[in-house]
Chain A
Amino acid sequence: MGRQDEQEEERDSRMATVHLHERREARYSVPIAIEVSGISREGQPFHERTFTLDVSQWGCGFKIPVELKKDDIVALRVVPGSSETAPLTKSLFQVVRVTPEDDAWVVGAWKMDDEKVWSAETLASFEREQSTGAEPAQRDTDS
Protein backbone atom coordinates (compact mmCIF):
# COMPACT_ATOMS: atom_id res chain seq x y z
CA MET A 1 0.00 0.00 0.00
CA GLY A 2 1.43 3.37 -0.99
CA ARG A 3 2.02 6.26 1.36
CA GLN A 4 -0.76 8.26 -0.29
CA ASP A 5 -3.24 5.38 0.16
CA GLU A 6 -2.27 5.07 3.79
CA GLN A 7 -2.79 8.77 4.35
CA GLU A 8 -6.13 8.62 2.59
CA GLU A 9 -7.25 5.64 4.67
CA GLU A 10 -6.18 7.37 7.87
CA ARG A 11 -8.11 10.45 6.87
CA ASP A 12 -11.19 8.34 6.04
CA SER A 13 -10.99 6.63 9.40
CA ARG A 14 -10.76 10.00 11.11
CA MET A 15 -13.64 11.45 9.15
CA ALA A 16 -15.93 8.55 10.07
CA THR A 17 -15.76 9.49 13.72
CA VAL A 18 -14.99 13.17 13.81
CA HIS A 19 -17.55 15.10 15.80
CA LEU A 20 -20.46 16.24 13.71
CA HIS A 21 -20.04 19.96 14.29
CA GLU A 22 -16.51 19.77 12.89
CA ARG A 23 -17.65 18.32 9.59
CA ARG A 24 -17.45 20.70 6.67
CA GLU A 25 -17.51 19.41 3.13
CA ALA A 26 -19.02 20.21 -0.21
CA ARG A 27 -22.33 18.66 -1.05
CA TYR A 28 -24.12 18.51 -4.36
CA SER A 29 -27.73 18.24 -5.46
CA VAL A 30 -27.50 14.81 -7.01
CA PRO A 31 -30.49 12.47 -7.37
CA ILE A 32 -29.07 9.00 -6.81
CA ALA A 33 -31.48 6.09 -6.41
CA ILE A 34 -31.04 4.58 -2.95
CA GLU A 35 -32.69 2.05 -0.67
CA VAL A 36 -32.97 3.01 2.98
CA SER A 37 -33.54 0.21 5.52
CA GLY A 38 -34.23 0.38 9.21
CA ILE A 39 -36.67 -0.26 11.99
CA SER A 40 -39.71 2.03 12.22
CA ARG A 41 -41.06 3.60 15.42
CA GLU A 42 -43.54 0.71 15.48
CA GLY A 43 -40.72 -1.82 15.55
CA GLN A 44 -41.31 -2.94 11.98
CA PRO A 45 -38.55 -3.26 9.36
CA PHE A 46 -38.75 -1.01 6.32
CA HIS A 47 -36.89 -0.94 3.01
CA GLU A 48 -37.77 2.32 1.26
CA ARG A 49 -36.55 3.28 -2.21
CA THR A 50 -36.03 6.96 -2.77
CA PHE A 51 -33.60 9.45 -4.31
CA THR A 52 -30.93 11.51 -2.65
CA LEU A 53 -31.66 15.23 -2.46
CA ASP A 54 -27.99 15.98 -1.98
CA VAL A 55 -24.84 14.01 -1.38
CA SER A 56 -21.35 14.59 -0.08
CA GLN A 57 -18.55 12.12 0.43
CA TRP A 58 -19.64 11.53 4.01
CA GLY A 59 -23.33 12.31 4.08
CA CYS A 60 -26.56 12.67 2.18
CA GLY A 61 -30.08 14.02 2.39
CA PHE A 62 -33.21 12.20 1.28
CA LYS A 63 -36.97 12.31 1.68
CA ILE A 64 -38.71 9.29 3.16
CA PRO A 65 -42.29 8.50 4.24
CA VAL A 66 -41.10 6.65 7.38
CA GLU A 67 -40.67 8.74 10.51
CA LEU A 68 -37.09 8.76 11.79
CA LYS A 69 -35.54 10.51 14.77
CA LYS A 70 -32.18 12.12 15.32
CA ASP A 71 -29.51 9.50 16.16
CA ASP A 72 -31.46 6.66 14.55
CA ILE A 73 -29.22 4.34 12.57
CA VAL A 74 -30.27 3.37 9.05
CA ALA A 75 -28.68 1.20 6.36
CA LEU A 76 -28.36 2.70 2.93
CA ARG A 77 -27.36 1.25 -0.40
CA VAL A 78 -27.25 2.62 -3.89
CA VAL A 79 -29.78 0.87 -6.10
CA PRO A 80 -27.85 -1.18 -8.69
CA GLY A 81 -27.68 0.52 -12.06
CA SER A 82 -27.88 4.04 -10.72
CA SER A 83 -24.14 4.29 -10.28
CA GLU A 84 -21.72 2.01 -12.08
CA THR A 85 -19.10 1.98 -9.38
CA ALA A 86 -21.44 1.90 -6.41
CA PRO A 87 -20.97 -1.06 -4.05
CA LEU A 88 -23.88 -3.44 -3.53
CA THR A 89 -23.24 -3.66 0.19
CA LYS A 90 -25.05 -1.44 2.65
CA SER A 91 -23.45 1.31 4.63
CA LEU A 92 -24.73 2.47 7.99
CA PHE A 93 -25.72 6.09 8.46
CA GLN A 94 -26.55 8.03 11.60
CA VAL A 95 -29.51 10.40 11.27
CA VAL A 96 -28.38 13.92 12.18
CA ARG A 97 -31.50 15.95 11.33
CA VAL A 98 -35.13 15.31 10.46
CA THR A 99 -37.56 17.89 9.09
CA PRO A 100 -41.23 17.15 8.36
CA GLU A 101 -42.24 18.10 4.84
CA ASP A 102 -45.73 17.46 3.43
CA ASP A 103 -46.53 13.86 4.34
CA ALA A 104 -42.90 12.75 4.61
CA TRP A 105 -39.64 13.56 6.36
CA VAL A 106 -36.52 15.12 4.94
CA VAL A 107 -33.57 13.39 6.55
CA GLY A 108 -29.92 14.35 6.77
CA ALA A 109 -27.64 11.42 7.56
CA TRP A 110 -23.94 10.87 8.16
CA LYS A 111 -21.96 7.80 7.12
CA MET A 112 -20.56 5.70 9.97
CA ASP A 113 -17.94 3.69 8.11
CA ASP A 114 -15.33 4.57 5.51
CA GLU A 115 -16.92 2.56 2.68
CA LYS A 116 -17.35 4.60 -0.46
CA VAL A 117 -21.11 4.62 -1.09
CA TRP A 118 -20.85 6.83 -4.15
CA SER A 119 -17.62 6.99 -6.00
CA ALA A 120 -15.26 9.93 -5.84
CA GLU A 121 -15.50 10.03 -9.65
CA THR A 122 -19.25 10.59 -9.44
CA LEU A 123 -18.80 13.48 -7.04
CA ALA A 124 -15.91 14.89 -9.09
CA SER A 125 -17.95 14.81 -12.29
CA PHE A 126 -20.74 16.72 -10.59
CA GLU A 127 -18.21 19.18 -9.27
CA ARG A 128 -16.86 19.69 -12.80
CA GLU A 129 -20.35 20.16 -14.20
CA GLN A 130 -21.13 22.72 -11.55
CA SER A 131 -17.89 24.61 -11.99
CA THR A 132 -18.44 24.86 -15.77
CA GLY A 133 -22.01 25.99 -15.23
CA ALA A 134 -23.49 22.98 -16.95
CA GLU A 135 -26.07 22.68 -14.19
CA PRO A 136 -27.22 25.05 -11.48
CA ALA A 137 -24.72 24.46 -8.70
CA GLN A 138 -25.57 23.98 -5.08
CA ARG A 139 -22.46 23.95 -3.02
CA ASP A 140 -23.23 23.88 0.61
CA THR A 141 -21.73 22.66 3.83
CA ASP A 142 -23.12 20.48 6.57
CA SER A 143 -23.59 22.24 9.81
Chain B
Amino acid sequence: MSAHHTVISPGKAAEDAAPHAKSGTGGPAGVEIVNFPQILYTRSFGDPDMLFVPLLDATREAYDMVERLSSHGENRANAVMLSGMHLASALLRDSSFSLIARGQSHEHVYTVDLGAGTLHVNTRLYASVSRRTSLFKVEIVGKIAGGPFVVRNPMQGSIITQVEEEKLRQPGYFASTLAQECLRVQIEKERVGRIEETIGPALHEEVRFTIAVGGNKVPVALRQKEAGAPWEIIDGRIQEWVGTLTPEVEKNLKSVTNFIKELFAQK
Protein backbone atom coordinates (compact mmCIF):
# COMPACT_ATOMS: atom_id res chain seq x y z
CA MET B 1 0.00 0.00 0.00
CA SER B 2 1.46 3.36 -0.95
CA ALA B 3 1.77 6.13 1.58
CA HIS B 4 -0.99 8.28 0.16
CA HIS B 5 -3.60 5.51 0.08
CA THR B 6 -3.82 4.75 3.77
CA VAL B 7 -7.30 3.57 4.65
CA ILE B 8 -8.34 2.48 8.12
CA SER B 9 -11.16 -0.04 7.95
CA PRO B 10 -11.92 -1.24 11.45
CA GLY B 11 -15.37 -2.30 10.26
CA LYS B 12 -13.83 -4.93 7.98
CA ALA B 13 -11.79 -6.31 10.85
CA ALA B 14 -14.96 -6.34 12.93
CA GLU B 15 -16.68 -8.56 10.40
CA ASP B 16 -13.74 -10.97 10.49
CA ALA B 17 -13.68 -10.98 14.27
CA ALA B 18 -17.40 -11.25 14.84
CA PRO B 19 -17.67 -15.05 15.27
CA HIS B 20 -15.21 -14.99 18.18
CA ALA B 21 -15.78 -11.59 19.73
CA LYS B 22 -17.44 -11.75 23.13
CA SER B 23 -18.97 -8.30 22.96
CA GLY B 24 -21.52 -7.31 20.38
CA THR B 25 -20.03 -3.86 19.85
CA GLY B 26 -16.46 -2.68 19.52
CA GLY B 27 -16.69 -0.13 22.27
CA PRO B 28 -15.10 3.30 22.51
CA ALA B 29 -11.39 3.90 22.19
CA GLY B 30 -8.91 6.72 22.09
CA VAL B 31 -5.92 6.73 19.77
CA GLU B 32 -3.20 8.95 21.13
CA ILE B 33 -0.40 10.03 18.84
CA VAL B 34 2.45 11.22 21.06
CA ASN B 35 2.89 15.02 20.95
CA PHE B 36 -0.40 15.41 19.09
CA PRO B 37 -2.67 17.99 20.74
CA GLN B 38 -5.89 15.96 20.60
CA ILE B 39 -7.06 12.36 20.78
CA LEU B 40 -8.64 10.47 17.90
CA TYR B 41 -11.79 8.91 19.23
CA THR B 42 -13.96 6.11 17.93
CA ARG B 43 -17.23 5.26 19.64
CA SER B 44 -17.80 1.87 18.11
CA PHE B 45 -14.62 0.30 16.71
CA GLY B 46 -12.28 0.44 19.68
CA ASP B 47 -12.08 -3.27 20.47
CA PRO B 48 -8.58 -4.59 19.69
CA ASP B 49 -10.09 -7.37 17.58
CA MET B 50 -11.45 -4.62 15.34
CA LEU B 51 -8.87 -1.85 15.54
CA PHE B 52 -5.48 -3.32 16.40
CA VAL B 53 -4.56 -4.72 12.98
CA PRO B 54 -5.72 -1.80 10.79
CA LEU B 55 -4.12 0.64 13.22
CA LEU B 56 -0.86 -1.31 13.27
CA ASP B 57 -0.78 -1.31 9.46
CA ALA B 58 -1.48 2.41 9.26
CA THR B 59 1.04 3.12 12.01
CA ARG B 60 3.68 1.05 10.24
CA GLU B 61 3.08 3.03 7.07
CA ALA B 62 3.49 6.28 9.01
CA TYR B 63 6.66 4.93 10.63
CA ASP B 64 8.07 4.03 7.20
CA MET B 65 7.29 7.59 6.21
CA VAL B 66 9.37 8.89 9.16
CA GLU B 67 12.36 6.91 7.89
CA ARG B 68 11.77 7.95 4.28
CA LEU B 69 11.44 11.66 5.10
CA SER B 70 14.49 11.53 7.40
CA SER B 71 16.58 9.87 4.71
CA HIS B 72 15.55 12.65 2.31
CA GLY B 73 16.93 15.31 4.61
CA GLU B 74 13.87 16.21 6.66
CA ASN B 75 14.66 17.01 10.28
CA ARG B 76 13.69 13.89 12.29
CA ALA B 77 11.41 15.76 14.69
CA ASN B 78 9.67 17.30 11.67
CA ALA B 79 9.45 13.90 9.98
CA VAL B 80 7.80 12.45 13.10
CA MET B 81 5.34 15.33 13.25
CA LEU B 82 4.48 15.17 9.53
CA SER B 83 4.01 11.40 9.66
CA GLY B 84 1.82 11.74 12.76
CA MET B 85 -0.29 14.31 10.92
CA HIS B 86 -0.56 11.92 7.99
CA LEU B 87 -1.67 9.11 10.30
CA ALA B 88 -4.26 11.35 11.99
CA SER B 89 -5.58 12.46 8.59
CA ALA B 90 -5.88 8.81 7.53
CA LEU B 91 -7.84 7.95 10.69
CA LEU B 92 -10.12 10.96 10.25
CA ARG B 93 -10.92 9.79 6.72
CA ASP B 94 -12.87 6.99 8.42
CA SER B 95 -16.15 8.51 9.55
CA SER B 96 -16.10 6.58 12.83
CA PHE B 97 -13.19 8.73 14.08
CA SER B 98 -13.33 12.25 15.44
CA LEU B 99 -11.06 14.53 17.43
CA ILE B 100 -11.62 15.05 21.13
CA ALA B 101 -9.77 16.64 24.04
CA ARG B 102 -7.07 14.83 25.95
CA GLY B 103 -7.58 13.82 29.54
CA GLN B 104 -10.60 11.57 29.22
CA SER B 105 -10.44 7.88 30.03
CA HIS B 106 -11.42 5.23 27.50
CA GLU B 107 -11.99 1.50 27.68
CA HIS B 108 -9.32 0.94 25.05
CA VAL B 109 -6.36 3.29 24.63
CA TYR B 110 -3.89 3.02 21.77
CA THR B 111 -0.70 5.07 22.04
CA VAL B 112 1.38 5.58 18.91
CA ASP B 113 4.92 6.86 19.48
CA LEU B 114 6.43 7.38 16.05
CA GLY B 115 9.57 8.88 17.59
CA ALA B 116 10.29 5.79 19.67
CA GLY B 117 8.74 3.44 17.10
CA THR B 118 6.37 1.78 19.58
CA LEU B 119 2.68 0.96 19.80
CA HIS B 120 1.05 0.58 23.24
CA VAL B 121 -2.44 -0.76 23.74
CA ASN B 122 -4.18 -0.59 27.11
CA THR B 123 -7.30 -2.68 27.04
CA ARG B 124 -9.61 -4.97 28.99
CA LEU B 125 -10.15 -8.62 28.21
CA TYR B 126 -12.86 -10.93 29.51
CA ALA B 127 -12.48 -14.68 29.90
CA SER B 128 -14.92 -17.31 31.14
CA VAL B 129 -14.03 -20.79 32.36
CA SER B 130 -16.30 -23.05 34.40
CA ARG B 131 -18.88 -20.32 35.06
CA ARG B 132 -16.16 -17.99 36.27
CA THR B 133 -15.77 -14.73 34.30
CA SER B 134 -12.71 -12.60 34.86
CA LEU B 135 -11.76 -9.13 33.69
CA PHE B 136 -8.15 -8.40 32.89
CA LYS B 137 -6.55 -5.04 32.30
CA VAL B 138 -3.60 -5.62 30.02
CA GLU B 139 -0.98 -3.56 28.28
CA ILE B 140 0.23 -4.79 24.91
CA VAL B 141 3.50 -3.27 23.76
CA GLY B 142 5.54 -3.81 20.64
CA LYS B 143 7.76 -2.25 18.02
CA ILE B 144 5.94 -0.73 15.07
CA ALA B 145 8.64 -1.99 12.71
CA GLY B 146 7.94 -5.62 13.62
CA GLY B 147 8.72 -8.35 16.12
CA PRO B 148 6.77 -9.88 18.99
CA PHE B 149 4.39 -7.95 21.24
CA VAL B 150 4.65 -8.25 25.00
CA VAL B 151 1.45 -8.55 27.04
CA ARG B 152 1.85 -7.11 30.55
CA ASN B 153 -0.18 -6.57 33.66
CA PRO B 154 -0.11 -2.76 33.83
CA MET B 155 -0.63 -2.70 37.61
CA GLN B 156 2.21 -5.06 38.52
CA GLY B 157 4.34 -4.65 35.39
CA SER B 158 4.65 -8.44 35.21
CA ILE B 159 4.81 -10.07 31.79
CA ILE B 160 1.85 -12.33 31.05
CA THR B 161 2.95 -13.58 27.67
CA GLN B 162 4.76 -12.69 24.48
CA VAL B 163 2.87 -12.95 21.19
CA GLU B 164 4.01 -13.00 17.59
CA GLU B 165 2.30 -10.45 15.36
CA GLU B 166 0.81 -13.12 13.11
CA LYS B 167 -1.16 -14.47 16.06
CA LEU B 168 -2.48 -11.01 16.88
CA ARG B 169 -3.74 -10.88 13.30
CA GLN B 170 -5.93 -13.93 13.78
CA PRO B 171 -9.66 -13.04 13.90
CA GLY B 172 -10.93 -12.77 17.45
CA TYR B 173 -7.51 -13.46 18.98
CA PHE B 174 -7.78 -10.84 21.74
CA ALA B 175 -11.26 -11.82 22.94
CA SER B 176 -10.62 -15.54 22.82
CA THR B 177 -7.05 -16.84 22.92
CA LEU B 178 -5.36 -13.95 24.73
CA ALA B 179 -8.12 -13.61 27.32
CA GLN B 180 -7.91 -17.35 28.06
CA GLU B 181 -4.14 -17.13 28.38
CA CYS B 182 -4.53 -14.30 30.93
CA LEU B 183 -6.96 -16.44 32.91
CA ARG B 184 -4.62 -19.43 32.79
CA VAL B 185 -1.74 -17.33 34.15
CA GLN B 186 -3.97 -15.92 36.90
CA ILE B 187 -5.18 -19.39 37.97
CA GLU B 188 -1.57 -20.62 38.06
CA LYS B 189 -0.56 -17.66 40.25
CA GLU B 190 -3.46 -18.27 42.60
CA ARG B 191 -2.51 -21.95 42.86
CA VAL B 192 1.08 -21.10 43.81
CA GLY B 193 -0.19 -18.44 46.21
CA ARG B 194 -2.47 -20.96 47.93
CA ILE B 195 0.44 -23.41 48.44
CA GLU B 196 2.53 -20.63 50.03
CA GLU B 197 -0.35 -19.54 52.26
CA THR B 198 -0.99 -23.07 53.55
CA ILE B 199 2.64 -23.89 54.17
CA GLY B 200 3.74 -20.51 55.52
CA PRO B 201 1.94 -20.16 58.88
CA ALA B 202 2.56 -23.78 59.94
CA LEU B 203 6.35 -23.57 59.56
CA HIS B 204 8.83 -23.48 62.43
CA GLU B 205 11.70 -22.03 60.35
CA GLU B 206 12.31 -21.33 56.70
CA VAL B 207 15.32 -20.26 54.61
CA ARG B 208 14.92 -19.03 51.04
CA PHE B 209 17.65 -18.50 48.48
CA THR B 210 18.40 -18.73 44.76
CA ILE B 211 20.99 -21.02 43.19
CA ALA B 212 22.42 -21.16 39.69
CA VAL B 213 21.77 -24.47 37.99
CA GLY B 214 22.92 -24.95 34.41
CA GLY B 215 22.72 -21.23 33.69
CA ASN B 216 19.24 -20.87 35.24
CA LYS B 217 18.44 -19.19 38.54
CA VAL B 218 16.36 -21.56 40.63
CA PRO B 219 14.51 -20.37 43.74
CA VAL B 220 14.83 -22.84 46.63
CA ALA B 221 13.28 -22.97 50.11
CA LEU B 222 14.48 -24.99 53.10
CA ARG B 223 11.62 -25.58 55.53
CA GLN B 224 11.43 -27.09 59.00
CA LYS B 225 7.84 -27.77 60.08
CA GLU B 226 8.68 -28.04 63.81
CA ALA B 227 11.73 -27.87 66.04
CA GLY B 228 13.90 -30.98 65.59
CA ALA B 229 12.09 -32.06 62.40
CA PRO B 230 14.08 -32.66 59.23
CA TRP B 231 14.69 -29.73 56.88
CA GLU B 232 12.77 -30.17 53.62
CA ILE B 233 14.12 -28.92 50.29
CA ILE B 234 11.39 -27.23 48.17
CA ASP B 235 11.69 -26.31 44.48
CA GLY B 236 10.45 -22.69 44.55
CA ARG B 237 9.42 -22.73 40.89
CA ILE B 238 6.70 -25.30 41.38
CA GLN B 239 6.54 -25.43 45.19
CA GLU B 240 7.31 -29.15 45.25
CA TRP B 241 9.28 -31.21 47.79
CA VAL B 242 12.53 -32.52 46.29
CA GLY B 243 14.31 -33.98 49.33
CA THR B 244 15.60 -33.42 52.89
CA LEU B 245 18.94 -32.19 54.20
CA THR B 246 21.34 -34.85 55.51
CA PRO B 247 22.31 -34.47 59.23
CA GLU B 248 25.81 -33.34 58.19
CA VAL B 249 24.49 -30.58 55.92
CA GLU B 250 21.92 -29.67 58.56
CA LYS B 251 24.83 -28.92 60.97
CA ASN B 252 26.26 -26.43 58.46
CA LEU B 253 22.87 -24.79 58.06
CA LYS B 254 22.49 -24.60 61.82
CA SER B 255 25.83 -22.81 62.15
CA VAL B 256 24.67 -20.23 59.58
CA THR B 257 21.28 -19.67 61.24
CA ASN B 258 22.85 -19.51 64.74
CA PHE B 259 25.32 -16.90 63.50
CA ILE B 260 22.45 -14.76 62.19
CA LYS B 261 20.36 -15.30 65.34
CA GLU B 262 23.28 -14.03 67.49
CA LEU B 263 23.71 -11.08 65.21
CA PHE B 264 20.05 -10.13 65.62
CA ALA B 265 20.24 -10.75 69.38
CA GLN B 266 23.18 -8.33 69.66
CA LYS B 267 21.25 -5.64 67.77
Contacts and interface: CB of A to CB of B under 8 A. Distances in A.
A34 B111 CA distance: 31
B167 to A, nearest CB: 31
B13 interface: no
A45 B72 CA distance: 10
Nearest to A93: B85
- Range of interface residues on chain A? 20 to 34
B82 A112 contact: no
Interface in B82-121: 82-83, 85-86, 88-89, 92-93, 99-101
Contacts of B15: none
A108 to B, nearest CB: 16
Given A38-B85, A71-B93, A75-B82, A45 B69 contact: yes
A39 B86 CA distance: 6
Contacts of A13: 101
A87 to B, nearest CB: 14
B37 A72 contact: no
A73 B4 contact: no
Interface of A is mostly: mixed
Nearest to B36: A92
Q: Which of A42, A73, A113 has the most CB atoms of chain B within a 10 A radius of its CB? A: A73
Q: Which of B2, B81, B85, B93 has the most CB atoms of chain A within a 10 A radius of its CB? A: B85
Contacts of B82: 37-39, 45, 75
Interface in A49-103: 69, 71-75, 90, 92, 94
A42 B99 CA distance: 24
Contacts of A3: none
A9 B119 CA distance: 31
B74 A90 contact: no
A57 B82 CA distance: 24
A39 B38 contact: no
Interface string A109-134: 00011000000000000000000000
Interface string A5-44: 0000000010011000000000000000000011111110
B101 A16 contact: yes
A34 B226 CA distance: 83
Contacts of A75: 81-82, 85
A112 B38 contact: yes
A76 to B, nearest CB: 11
A71 B4 contact: no
Given A16-B38, A75-B81, 6 more contacts: A37-B78, A38-B85, A43-B86, A73-B86, A94-B99, A112-B99
Interface of B: 2-4, 36-38, 65, 69, 74, 78, 81-83, 85-86, 88-89, 92-93, 99-101
11 contacts: A38-B82, A39-B82, A39-B85, A43-B65, A45-B74, A69-B89, A71-B92, A75-B81, A75-B82, A92-B85, A113-B37
For the complex of A and B, list the 3 residue pairs with the smallest distance between their C-beta atoms, beginning with the closest: A43-B3, A113-B37, A43-B4
